[in-house]
Structure 1
Amino acid sequence: MSTQAPTPQDSMSPAGPGEPVTALPSTSDSRLARQLGFILEIDKLKSVLRRSRLADDSRAENDAEHSWHLAMMAVVLGEYADEEVDTGRVLRMLLVHDLVEIYAGDTFIYDQTAIAEQEAREKAAADRLFPLLPRDQAVQLRSLWEEFEARRTPDARFARALDRLQPLILNYVTGGGSWQTHGVRAQDVLAHQRVVSEGSLALWEYINQLVGDAVRRGYLAA
């Protein structure tokens, strides 16, 4: 009796109700297979927790939520960039900038020990993550990540400004958030926020106003 050759989907053991499927069906298109593998791998970003809490203070924010929030900030606040920027490139940079934290973990900006090791950890993570993609896309995304880190272009400077502003806003609206938890002082916040002035003087002025108000309300130690 003849039998029909199984398709890639047929060759997988079907998951029962409530059971997770741990791998995607195979495909003869090797490029698509690598791209889908990468897409599945970066789902892990949703499990990397940050020190910042959600605006409703219900739980810690994760890295994927942070990246989405920054992308929306680029769309809404683009008019405050000091130099002309390519919003599309800024968006791509913001979506890519924290992917290495899948392996390197989130680095708390006020943890000096972790900061000292951050560059090496994240470079090793980049060496592991981006090659999951086809070479052309691996080069493209790694280049965006390196550009963000270097802050040598208008796009990167504005992207970094947004990256610093977002947790500041969340800490303020949660009554001090991680500032309170870790005993952060106003001068420390301003020192780390100064890079915002490289991308947007308007946002830098607002940050000074926000920090001053946070001190008056007792969210930050003077």
Structure 2
Amino acid sequence: MVNTPERLAQQMAFIIEADKLKSIFRQSYISDKTRRENDAEHSWHLALMAITLFEHANDPQLDLLKILRMVIIHDIVEIDAGDTYIYDEEHKKDQERRERLAADRLFGLLPEDQAIEFRALWDEFELGESAEARFAKAIDRLHPMLLNYLADGKTWLEHGVVATQVREINQKIERGSASLWTYAQGLIQNAIQSGILPAK
């Protein structure tokens, strides 16, 4: 690897393009309910969750830096593919195709070695089989649940989401962290009791 002006130009092009993530808004509201969260904020909050909560992972021998790299880049594809709401079954049908095309373009902006490296991390996260990916996906599922709970179920209620859906979609949290899934189930139960998440 030689640090050339061309290499730096490619890296800067990627960084500049990534700024668009700040304009991709998700379904989740921030905790004060004033507006929807953007993808860049989500990625930052996941990074904070990773460094705070990684001791709760099922596998104690995790590569924290790898997890951080995954959660920082995992949603960059939404610059092109948009945010796909996890409970929107129709929109999820072509999600994989849209996101793979986006990954090809966006990571393709980088120098070849970094393009390969970043794409491998993104693919590993999507596959969700390594210990790091399982934990990264666990916090990625927990985060919108937590925001929904803090925002009095605003997104759940807007979309007619019920507790059985929330449990079914998010039970994969347990693959990365049994204790975080226990916590998530407590949120669901409290949300039902508070009337912000219909039981069915």
TM-score category (smaller protein): over 0.9
Q: Aligned letter for 1:55?
A: S
Equivalent position of 1:115 in the other structure: 92
**What's 1:203 paired with?**
180
Per-residue Cα deviation, 1:124-175 (whole angstroms, up to 9, x for no partner): 1111111100000000000000000001100000000000000000000110
Q: Name segments (4+ residues, structure 1) moved above 4 Å.
A: none
Q: Match for residue 42 of structure 2?
A: 66
Please say if 1:78 is aligned against 2:54. yes
1:16 equivalent in structure 2? none
In the alignment, structure 2 segments of 5+ residues that lack a partner are none
Among 19, 38, 48, the residue aligned to 2:14? 38
CA contact (8 A) 1:53 1:174 kept: yes
1:1-222 equivalences in 2 (<5 Å): 29-83=5-59, 84-222=61-199
State the alpha-carbon separation in 2 of the partners of residues 43 and 111 from structure 1: 26
- Which structure has more relative contact order (CA 8 Å, sep 6+)? It is 2
Q: Please give the alpha-carbon distance, in whole angstroms, between the structure 1 residues aligned to 2:9 and 2:187.
A: 47
Supply the distance in 2 between the matched residues of 1:148 and 1:132 (Cα, whole angstroms): 20
Give the deviation of 1:69 after TM superposition: 0.1
Q: When you count helix as a share of all residues, which structure comes out higher?
A: 2
Q: Aligned partners of 1:210, 1:129: CA distance in 2, in Å?
A: 36
Q: What root-mean-square deviation, in Å, do the aligned CA atoms of Structure 1 and Structure 2 show?
A: 0.7
TM-score for both structures, normalised by structure 1 = 0.87
State the SS of the aligned residue for 1:31: helix
Letter in structure 1 aligned against 2:185: N
Alpha-carbon distance in structure 1 between the residues aligned to 2:9 and 2:101: 23
Letter in 1 for 2:117: Q
CA distance in 1, matches of 2:106, 2:29: 27
Q: Secondary structure at the match of 2:27?
A: strand
Q: Deviations over 1:90-119 (max 9, x none)?
A: 000000100000000000001001111100
Q: Name the CA distance, whole Å, in 2 between partners of 1:134 and 1:122.
A: 20
Q: Which amino acid aligns with 1:69?
A: H
Whether the aligned pair in 2 keeps the contact of 1:86 and 1:155 (CA below 8 Å) is: yes
Q: How many Å separate the matches in 2 of 1:177 and 1:201?
A: 27
The answer (yes or no) to whether the contact 1:170–1:177 under 8 Å persists in 2 is: no
- CA deviation string 1:54-87 (max 9, x = no partner): 1111111000000000000000001100002111
Identical aligned residues as a percent: 51
Aligned length: 195
Name the SS of the counterpart of 1:132 in structure 2: coil
Give the Cα separation in 1 of the matches to 2:118 and 2:151.
Answer: 34
Residue 13 of structure 1 is matched in structure 2 by: none
